[in-house]
Amino acid sequence: MTADQRTLSAVVLAAGEGSRMRSERPKPLHRLCGKPMIMYVLDSLSACGAERAVVVVGHKADWVTKKIGEEETPVPVVFVEQGVQRGTGDAALMGLTGLPDDPDDGDVLVLPGDAPLLRAETIAALVDQHRRSEVAATVLTAELEDPTGYGRIVRGRDGRVVRVVEQADATPEEAAIREVNTSIYCFRRSLLSPALRRLEPDNAQGEYYLTDVVGVLADAGHAVDTVVAPSPVEASGVNDRVQLAAAEAELRRRTNERLLRSGVTMLDPASTYVDSTVVVGRDVTLFPGTILQGTTVVGDGSEVGPGSRLVDCTVGTECRVESTSARRASIGDRARVGPFAHLHEGAVVPDDARTGPFYNSAADS
C-alpha cells in the first residue's frame, strides 16, 4: 500500500474548560463570524482526505456534543469523553479509542479545537509532506517574532527535530527559539499510541503533554519532520476574549476578501460585517455599517445599507434595503425598504413593495 492509500483520521482536542474566557459557554462553542469556533477546525479537514474525526470532549461535554451534532461537518464525527482533565497527551490517547481498528497502519491528524484560523490547504499540505517523507510524525510549525506562550521546536546539530519544549519548562536558550509548535500534527498511528503510553507528567503543570511525544519518537530513532505554516496567523489559538476578537477580525477579513473577489462591492470593507454563513449574490453593493448575520441570503443586484442589520433574513434580487433592522424577515424582489425601517420576526415584504421611511412592520400586525 502506498502512502497516499493509507487511511487518514483526525482527533480534535476540545475537552478543556477554557477558564480564561471567563464564560459559562464552553470554549469550543464561542462563536466567530456566525459559527462555533470548533467548526472552523473541523472545516479545515475538508481538503486532506480525512475519513472521520473524533472530537474529545470534557468540560460541559453534553453541550459541546449537542451543538456540533446540529452543524454540518465535512467528515463524520464521533465523540469521546475525557472524564478527568490530565493534559493533551491523555486527551489524544482517549481520542484514539474512538477510531476503528486499522490493520493497514494509517495516519492520524491531531489538532486543538481552539485554532479557528487554520486553512484547509495548510492541513492538506501537512498530510502530503508527512506521507512523502515517510516519517513517524510531522509537526506544523510557525516562525514568530514574539514566540511567548508557545512551545519551541528544539533541533539537534544535524537540524533534526529532537523535542518540543513548553514555555514554562524552557531554558533561556530554548525560550529564544522563534520556531514554535502550533499543536497540529500528523502521526503514523501505529507509532503514536505506544508513544503516548510512555509519557510522564514530569513538567511544571503535572500533565501529560502531547508535545512530549515528539521527544519520545525522536529518542526511539524515529524521524520527525516539520512543515512551516504559510502565515504565522494560522498558528494563533484562542484562549481569552482578546484573542477571540483578533481571530474574528481575521476571519471577517477573509470573508470580505472572498466576497469582493466573487463580485460583491463594499464601499468600506473595514466597516462591513458579514458572517461566514451568509450568502451574497453577484453585483450586490454593501454600504458602510452593514451587518449581515446567520443564514441571511442577499440576491443578485441588491443594495444593503448604510446602517442595516439583517439576521437570518432573505433579500430578493435588485432590492434596496437602507438603514433597516430585521430578523427572520423575507424581502421580495425589487422591494425598497427604509430608510429607518424595522421588520419584526416573520415579516414579509412582497415583490416590488415600498415600505417608506420609519416603517415598522409590527404596527401592521
Q: What is the pLDDT of residues 104-161, one digit of tens each?
A: 789 999 999 999 999 999 999 999 999 999 999 999 999 999 998 899 999 988 889 9
Same domain, 207 and 285: no
Residue 64 lies in a domain: yes
Comparing 101-110, 259-268, 307-316, 356-365, the range with the smallest average pLDDT is: 356-365
pTM for the model: 0.93
- Please write the tens of the pLDDT for every residue from 53-88: 999 999 999 999 999 999 999 999 999 999 888 999
Same domain, 196 and 273: no
In whole angstroms, give the CA distance from residue 55 to residue 38: 10
349 pLDDT tier (thresholds 50, 70, 90) = very high
In whole angstroms, give the CA distance from residue 6 to residue 62: 33
Name the burial class of residue 363, with classes exposed (0-12), middle (13-18) and buried (19+) by CB atoms within 10 angstroms of its CB. Answer: exposed
Residue 253 lies in a domain: no
Q: What is the CA radius of gyration of the chain?
A: 24
365 pLDDT tier (thresholds 50, 70, 90) = low
Residue 9 lies in a domain: yes
Residue 246 lies in a domain: no
Same domain, 33 and 113: yes
Same domain, 165 and 267: no
Own/partner long-range contacts of 169-178 (Cβ < 8 Å, ≥24 apart): 169/203, 169/204, 175/147, 177/147, 177/152, 177/153, 178/143, 178/144, 178/145, 178/147
Q: What is the mean pLDDT of residues 197-223?
A: 89
Classified as helix, coil or strand, 108 is strand
pLDDT at 205: 76
Residue 37 lies in a domain: yes
Same domain, 104 and 213: yes
In whole angstroms, give the CA distance from residue 94 to residue 86: 11
pLDDT at 364: 66
pLDDT at 215: 94
Same domain, 227 and 277: no
Same domain, 185 and 316: no
In whole angstroms, give the CA distance from residue 124 to residue 127: 5
Question: What percent of the chain lies above the pLDDT cut of 70?
Answer: 97
Domain coverage including residue 198: 3-235
Residue 45 lies in a domain: yes
Residue 360 belongs to a domain with what CATH number?
2.160.10.10
Answer for the pair 248, 228: CB distance below 8 angstroms, yes or no: no
Same domain, 128 and 275: no
pLDDT at 206: 78
6, 20, 52, 328: the catalytic one is: 20
Same domain, 192 and 293: no
Same domain, 162 and 41: yes
Same domain, 182 and 267: no
Residue 115 belongs to a domain with what CATH number?
3.90.550.10
How many domains does the chain divide into?
2
In whole angstroms, give the CA distance from residue 141 to residue 30: 25
Same domain, 169 and 313: no
pLDDT at 5: 75
Residue 249 lies in a domain: no
Classified as helix, coil or strand, 67 is helix
- Please write the tens of the pLDDT for every residue from 154-165: 998 888 999 999
pLDDT at 362: 80
102 or 239, greater pLDDT: 239
Residue 120 lies in a domain: yes
Answer for the pair 59, 26: CB distance below 8 angstroms, yes or no: yes
- Catalytic residue flag (residue 20): yes
- Please write the tens of the pLDDT for every residue from 189-206: 999 999 999 998 877 677
- Please write the tens of the pLDDT for every residue from 293-346: 999 999 999 999 999 999 999 999 999 999 999 999 999 999 999 999 999 999
